[in-house]
């Protein structure tokens, strides 16, 4: 899929995160955005998810309502168990898939565990599984493997590929970037494309 | 001496005598019923108004100042005002409800303002509907605010309900019996009824505490 930003401007207070930004992202399988912290990658992802509105310009090629975003924070509901977190995003007709998604995240047998009892890596994997379970088209993942060991991250990336959905992810990890089909390098603020595949 | 400060024995004897009459149990039961009615009404109305004032601008503008005034009004003014509008037997429940309403409203309003914005954004991004957001995010977030509000409000409802019964005594009520004991200078009976009120209040608060803070939350 091709996402096109045309003259997009976004200002937070005095800070111009995007200043007439025009770029085209070809998202195919696992596609990565990388660049220094604070350059505007997260803002770009939030913009694509429809959580931010640009002050100017247009975004084409994406339907925010059909995308699924994994936030930089896990945002798990502290009072719901791991299984319930997955079930909460599934329609009733798909409740039978809960175990399958827990397996996706390598959390078999943890269905009754509350987030407070999960390690940082386990919580991250659960948040990723919940995002993937949500369904829809494009997946927007903000540092999906933060706190996840390299081996598990590789396994999760393989499973994400197997889903056959376009994935746009933010990462700084060389091992993650290596496994992505496309890598866009960004700089900023204001955000600009440094290199495209 | 028993007229000013009765001995514990005199109070115990009075309590024993009272407990042997059906009026004692009926008075306690009716008072309890009126206070519980008031608490239920106050909780329902306070919760509904908290949602209304939090989610609507017009609700906030119309009701928030009125509830703040209500919170600052002395209980005795309420009792005398309500006496003009409703019959005696209903006054304690209405007064108890009016005491509960602003406390519940205040606690839930603070709770609603402190609901995690990130979780609300998640609900929006993950396309939770209104009901699902209420059930999965708002209600669990508000639980502790609701519980502490209810515990505080219940004690106040109990005291104000009995006070209303003393000032506007209905037929069967603890407050009416206190009033009769005072008029007849039956100080041991006055103390005995006070003991009943304290015991009932502590007992009910204990039960309520167990209901709103389940065992695992109390760290047992």
Nearest CA in chain B to A72: B118
The encoded tokens of residue B77 equal 């003014």
Q: How many domains does chain B have?
A: 1
Tens-place pLDDT, residues B16-62? 988 889 998 999 999 999 999 999 999 999 999 999 999 999 999 99
As a whole number, mean pLDDT of residues A41-63 equals 91
User: Which of A51, A75, A77 is opposite residue B136, by nearest beta carbon?
Assistant: A77
pLDDT exceeds cutoff 80 at A55: yes
pLDDT, position B214:
64
Between chains, do B124 and A73 touch, taking CB under 8 Å as contact?
Answer: no
Strand-pair category, A56-60 with A2-12: antiparallel
Domain spans of chain A, in order of start: 1-67+136-197, 76-134
As a whole number, mean pLDDT of residues B80-99 equals 90
pLDDT exceeds cutoff 70 at B218: no
Closest CA to A125 of A161, A99, A109, A149: A149
Backbone angles phi, psi at A80, to 5 degrees: -115, 145
Backbone angles phi, psi at B156, to 5 degrees: -70, -40
Helix B75-85 with B139-167: angle, nearest 10 deg: 70
pLDDT, position B220:
47
CB contact, 8 Å: B51 with chain A?
no
Backbone angles phi, psi at B184, to 5 degrees: -85, 5
Assigned CATH topology for domain A1-67+136-197: Rossmann fold (3.40.50)
Domain harbouring B42, CATH code = 1.10.3720.10
Tens-place pLDDT, residues B160-215? 999 999 888 888 888 888 888 888 888 888 899 999 999 998 998 898 888 877 65
Tens-place pLDDT, residues B131-166? 999 999 999 999 999 999 999 999 899 999 999 998
pLDDT exceeds cutoff 60 at A179: yes
pLDDT, position A139:
95
Which domain covers residue B97, as residue numbers? 25-212
Residue B54 lies in a domain: yes
For residues A40 and A34, give the distance between their C-alpha atoms in angstroms, rounded to a whole number: 10
pLDDT, position A36:
92
pLDDT exceeds cutoff 70 at B217: no
Residue B48 lies in a domain: yes
Residue B6 lies in a domain: no
As a whole number, mean pLDDT of residues A62-68 equals 87
Residue B159 lies in a domain: yes
Tens-place pLDDT, residues A102-124? 999 999 999 999 999 999 999 99
As a whole number, mean pLDDT of residues B87-111 equals 93
Above pLDDT 90, what percent of chain A? Answer: 75
pLDDT exceeds cutoff 60 at A70: yes
As a whole number, mean pLDDT of residues B92-109 equals 95
CB under 8 A, 24+ apart: contacts of B194-200: B195/B11, B195/B15, B196/B15, B196/B28, B197/B158, B197/B162, B200/B28, B200/B32, B200/B158
Residue-averaged pLDDT of chain B: 89
Q: Name the B residues in 76-135 with CB < 8 Å from any A CB.
A: 118-119, 121-122, 124-128, 132
Q: Name the B residues in 19-48 with CB < 8 Å from any A CB.
A: none
The A-side interface with B (CB below 8 A) comprises 49, 51, 65, 68-69, 71, 73, 75, 77, 79-80, 88-89, 134
């Amino acid at each position: 899929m091709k996402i096109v930003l045309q003259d997009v401007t976004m200002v937070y207070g005095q800070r111009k995160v995007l200043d007439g930004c025009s770029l085209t992202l070809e998202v195919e399988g696992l596609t990565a955005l990388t660049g220094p912290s604070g350059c505007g990658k997260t803002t770009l992802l939030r913009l694509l998810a429809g959580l931010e509105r640009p002050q100017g310009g247009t975004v084409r090629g994406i339907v925010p309502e059909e995308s699924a975003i994994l936030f930089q924070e896990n945002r798990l509901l502290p009072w719901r168990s791991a299984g319930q977190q997955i079930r909460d995003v599934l329609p009733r007709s798909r409740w039978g898939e809960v175990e399958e998604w827990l397996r996706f995240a390598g959390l078999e047998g943890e269905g009754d565990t509350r987030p407070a009892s999960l390690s940082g890596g386990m919580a991250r994997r659960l948040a990723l599984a919940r995002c993937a379970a949500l369904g829809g088209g494009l997946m927007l993942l903000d540092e999906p493997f933060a706190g996840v060991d390299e081996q598990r991250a590789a396994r999760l990336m393989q499973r994400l590929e197997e889903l056959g959905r376009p994935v746009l992810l933010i990462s700084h990890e060389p091992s993650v970037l290596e496994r992505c089909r496309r890598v866009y390098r960004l700089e900023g603020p204001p955000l600009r494309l440094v290199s495209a595949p | 001496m028993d007229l000013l400060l009765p001995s514990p024995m005199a109070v115990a004897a009075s309590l024993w005598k009272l407990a042997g009459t059906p009026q004692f149990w009926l008075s306690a039961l009716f008072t309890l019923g009126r206070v519980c009615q008031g608490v239920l009404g106050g909780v329902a109305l306070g919760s509904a108004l908290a949602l209304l004032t939090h989610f609507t601008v017009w609700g906030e503008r119309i009701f928030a100042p009125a509830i703040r005034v209500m919170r600052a009004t002395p209980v005795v003014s309420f009792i005398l005002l309500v006496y003009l509008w409703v019959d005696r037997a209903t006054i304690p429940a209405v007064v108890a409800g009016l005491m509960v309403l602003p406390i519940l409203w205040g606690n839930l309003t603070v709770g609603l303002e402190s609901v995690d914005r990130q979780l609300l954004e998640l609900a929006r991004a993950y396309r939770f509907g209104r009901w699902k957001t209420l059930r999965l995010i708002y209600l669990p977030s508000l639980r502790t605010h609701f519980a502490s509000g209810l515990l505080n409000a219940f004690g106040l409802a109990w005291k104000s309900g009995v006070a209303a019964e003393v000032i506007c005594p209905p037929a069967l009520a603890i407050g009416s019996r206190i009033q009769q004991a005072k008029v007849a200078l039956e100080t041991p009976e006055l103390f005995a009824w006070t003991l009943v009120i304290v015991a009932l209040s502590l007992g009910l608060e204990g039960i309520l505490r167990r209901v709103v803070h389940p065992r695992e939350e109390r760290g047992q």
